[in-house]
Amino acid sequence: MIREALQKDIDVMQKSSPVDLVTETDQKVEQLIISSIKEKYPTHSFIGEESVAKGEACVLTDKPTWIIDPVDGTTNFVHGFPFVAVSIGFAVNKELEFGVVYSCLEDKMYKAQKGKGAFCNDEPIQVSDVQDIKKSIIISEHGVDRSPEKVTKIFSTMQKILCIPVHGLRGSGTAATNMCLVACGAVEAFFEIGIHCWDIAAGAVIVKEAGGLLLDVNDYLSLVCSLAIEIDCCYRQVSAFVVGMAVSTAHECDFEEEK
């Protein structure tokens, strides 16, 4: 559906800001995923980026819950930039059990189940073994908040990391793909200031099963609250260094209180 949509005119709409984009394809893909799963698992719960954007409650309970980003990298999709992903994570008792990320234009399927390893197109993957951050590539994004305060914090962090120096600082435009690039060892770390549960749910399982870490500035990850800074790393020293250099920023929790 996504590849077919790229061959047509794309009707672009705005959500929270002129740089926070959504298309009809985002909505159609999410509807297709949810309806397909509901046919087999009618009692399961869903948290979808576009459903939440339309006002649906974002509540994580102990029930089996699918956490969906139908088109991660919508801006890439609109411009034809070749990194667009579908991200689906699955949680039970508020614990992630498996995740799938499909990089549509690359035709790469990343998947992982807790305790069973991580794979790309059915080939096992693992994180990089680089131990010296000066030999690393770091990947990051600047997000959709373009307030001067937020942009200053982001570029302050990027400047510090570049001046270590590292081999490079990159960005694919999609958090799910960035996490998979960590998982397969193409980059050593990913950080982003302000990120949502649907961005990281699938990638979190894939990174962990590939031997990586997920940390925030307090060295604590909880699916129940969005992170101020998301760090994925192949090696504890590398991740600790990046966390130490990063600038924290306030970020609202995605999830509402369970009623």
For 177-189, what is each residue's pLDDT tens digit?
999 999 999 998 8
Phi, psi angle pair for 186, to nearest 5°? -75, -30
pLDDT value at residue 221: 37
Residue 237 has pLDDT above 70, yes or no: no
pLDDT value at residue 81: 94
Distance CA 118, CA 100 (A): 10
Answer for the pair 14, 21: CB distance below 8 angstroms, yes or no.
yes
> Selecting from 3.40.50.1000, 3.40.190.80, 3.40.50.620, 3.40.50.720, what CATH number does the domain 133-245 have?
3.40.190.80
pLDDT value at residue 240: 62
Quote the tokens at residue 6.
Answer: 């790229």
Distance CA 194, CA 114 (A): 25
pLDDT value at residue 238: 59
Q: Does domain 2-124 have CATH number 3.30.540.10?
A: yes
Distance CA 56, CA 106 (A): 32
Task: Output the known binding site for Mg(2+).
Answer: 49, 69, 72, 199
Task: Output the known binding site.
Answer: 49, 69, 72, 199
Annotated domain spans of the chain: 2-124, 133-245
| Residue range 16-26: mean pLDDT, rounded | 87
pLDDT value at residue 219: 41
pLDDT value at residue 18: 84
Q: Do domains 2-124 and 133-245 have the same CATH topology?
A: no
